[in-house]
A and B are shown apart, each in its own frame.
Chain A
Amino acid sequence: MKQNGLIFAAVLVVLLGATVGVEVIRDHVYGQPRPAEAVLYVRSGEFLKRASLANASLFADVYWLRTIQYYGGTRRSKQSGKRYDLLYPLLDIVTALDPKFTIAYRFGAVFLAEKYPGGPGRPDLSIALLEKGIRADPLKWQYEHDLGFVYYWYLHDYRKAAESFRRGGDVPGAPWWMRSLAAVTYGKGGDRQTSRLLWLQLYQTADNEWLRNNAQLRLAQLDALDQIDRLEKMVAEWSRRTGAPPASWQTLVQAGWLNGEPLDPAGTPYVLDPRTGRVDVLPDSKLYPLPTEPGAWIPPPPS
């Protein structure tokens, strides 16, 4: 009886091994199965909320997992013509299922607006999502901060950015610098100091690795822009003295103006255009491409 049991167990193990073997051979001969296209069968968050039968919060978590996987998978994909069509519908469902899901609004604020290929480049959808968040939780100053940030960084609409910062500053419990931010943005428009402050705030308040890494990258890009300004000044000074831009960094190193080839904050050498004297990050650098900086406030002409 015991022997029969052992034989039976051995047969089971052999059969299980055989299924693995067949699968390995099939994948080897016919290639790995292609992952299915991401499809969102149900797009109504309200329907899902009802179908969840008092488990909407858990459903929201599941859809949040899908959102992260979808965004991460698409962003890392090497395919040409990749699209982020489902990012907004997924975030819309998450926030319909759980209107207090703070990170979903904040994640959407940054990554929906992010320029292609890092995101779909849809600041309008970021704004729609954040406005939904403000309706759900008017006491969350962070949403107004992020809304102002989208207007400031992605749309360069400083008046609307300042209004959002001011509204956020009026929320009880909001930090004092929100009002200062509103005043500075309203007065000066965009400058690197304000950009740095905004990204730093996002970095410090983000309870999400994706957001924090993105903010860290932006801060490094702003540092790179500072360094590029200094390097271009140096190149301009060289041109003024010698009548032509330096042929390469080596020229400035040999002249003792630089200790070595200048590196960007990601550790990649800067590239110098000897014809124009312009400095930029290399396309190989993690910081490439550098962002279009918000410019100074230009008041509209009097009507």
Chain B
Amino acid sequence: MKVVGSVALNVFKESVREKVLYNLVLFAVLLIGASYLIGQLTAGQDIKFIKDLGLSATAIFGLFIAVFIGIGLVWKEVERRSIYSLLAKPITRVDFILGKYAGLVLTLFVNLAVMTVALYAVLGAMALLGPSALVAALDAPPLDPRLLLAIGLIFVELALVTAIALFFSTFSSPILSAAFTFGLYIVGQFSADLKRFEQVVDSRAAAWLARALYYLLPNLAPFDIKALVVHGQPISAGYVLMTVCYGVVYIVFVLLAAALVFARRDFK
């Protein structure tokens, strides 16, 4: 466990060295700039817009970090040949994979935490300075604590994407890994269509295959509750819990697969 922690901390430090956290500055500028300009344009929808923008930017920035860093996590060590010195130390390949994964998830967590604070700060300022009649007319309060639910599910989704990127990174080049990860991310947004495939095709085999793919491929759409939260719609605790549970189980599955592939790789 200590070994996993050391590897994770190194990944985090490396992310900081590679100026990954600079995206936070961009995020803050985007939100503050938008909050200033949007008030003039959205005709009373500025808080909704900032919530949408903040949540979407959190998810998109996080996605790029998860994919573009995740795909290089293992590949970089192999390319630099530092993998030899690493594996010569008392560290198992499984520890190595878990450490790399935990490090990137930590980076994502810090990113999301700072973005959340920035989002609440901007919303708080807007609620304070905006006309009270408009604030009162909103579907949900500006500083709605349920925004944390949406961000929490974004985090679990990103952790799953990170695991997928890491999995591809164990045996493929960064370009292919990025293509595969983005591909699965996009498919994951539409997997509900696979479940309904039998409504559009007559072939039972095709429908069965589509149904099987629906269960096998990551289903990322349920992690998106942004619109519900922004409109103050009810979200049951059971739904959130089940979605988190699904994410965690899928992450464990992908990490095990990554560890298995990596354990069988021959570096000679």
Contact = CB atoms under 8 A, between A and B. Distances in A.
Q: Are these two chains actual partners, yes or no?
A: yes
Given A53-B186, A54-B220, A57-B56, A65 B42 contact: yes
Contacts of B217: none
A54 B139 contact: no
Contacts of B230: 57
Interface in B96-140: 133-134, 137-139
Contact of B49 (A53, A54, A61, A208): A61
The range of chain A's interface size is: 20 to 34
Interface stretch (A23-31, A98-106, A155-163, A246-254): A98-106
B29 to A, nearest CB: 17
Contact of A64 (B42, B55, B137, B138): B42
B60 interface: yes
Interface in A41-88: 50, 53-58, 60-61, 64-65, 68-69
A209 interface: yes
Nearest to A56: B227
A209 B43 contact: yes
Contacts of B226: 54-55, 57
Interface in A84-123: 98, 100, 102-103, 107
Contacts of B137: 205, 207
A288 interface: no
B139 A102 contact: yes
A61 B52 contact: yes
B231 interface: yes
A210 interface: yes
Contacts of A50: 190
A61 B43 contact: no
B224 interface: yes
A100 B231 CA distance: 7
Given A54-B59, A56-B227, A208 B53 contact: no
A130 B210 CA distance: 37
| Chain B interface main SS type | helix
A55 B44 contact: no
Contacts of A68: 41-43
A68 B41 CA distance: 7
Contact of B48 (A54, A61, A107): A61
Contacts of A210: 43
User: Which of A54, A58, A68, A210 has the most chain B CB atoms inside 10 A of its CB?
Assistant: A54
B2 to A, nearest CB: 37
A55 B59 contact: yes
Interface in A200-221: 205, 207-210
Contacts of A98: 227
Nearest to A61: B49
B219 to A, nearest CB: 12
Contacts of B223: 54
B189 interface: yes
Interface in B126-174: 133-134, 137-139
Contacts of B41: 65, 68-69
Interface of B: 38, 41-45, 48-49, 52-53, 55-56, 59-60, 133-134, 137-139, 185-186, 189-190, 220-221, 223-224, 226-227, 230-231, 233
18 contacts: A54-B59, A54-B189, A54-B220, A54-B221, A55-B52, A57-B52, A58-B52, A58-B53, A61-B49, A64-B42, A68-B43, A100-B139, A100-B231, A100-B233, A102-B139, A103-B44, A207-B138, A208-B44
Interface of A: 50, 53-58, 60-61, 64-65, 68-69, 98, 100, 102-103, 107, 205, 207-210
